[in-house]
Amino acid sequence: MRRDIFQAIADPTRRAILVLIALQAMTPNAIAEHFDTTRQTVSKHLKILTECEVVKQEYRGREIYYQLEIDKIKEIDKWLQQFRRLLESRFEQLEQLLATIKKQKY
């Protein structure tokens, strides 16, 4: 089953993991230290993030490091841009309405 990138960010723990590894690549043990869950639970989250291609694995000797896949994050941002434009447009309309109301009062 192919997962999509929005499944990756649907869970708060996975979003927190993404924030952690955005700064630097980390091992599963290092990531797990930041959560009050088992290492196995963190591994399941990492598996989903990997399947969604939001993180990638890099082997350094016997250790696996997880790092953010920036291009996939850009896909999320691109999708969100349509909503940003919509909200900005609505705020501009609200600003114009408030300016009109203010003019009518004075």
User: Residue 88 is encoded by which pair of tokens?
Assistant: 């900005």
Q: Is the pLDDT of residue 3 over 80?
A: no
pLDDT at 29: 95
Q: Is the pLDDT of residue 16 over 70?
A: yes
Q: What's the pTM value of the predicted model, to 2 decimals?
A: 0.76
pLDDT at 104: 87
- Contact between 22 and 72 under an 8 Å Cβ cutoff? The reply is no
90-98 mean pLDDT: 89
Domains belonging to the chain, first-starting first, are 5-105 (1.10.10.10)
| pLDDT, tens digit, 9 for 90 and up, residues 35-62 | 999 999 999 999 999 999 999 999 999 9
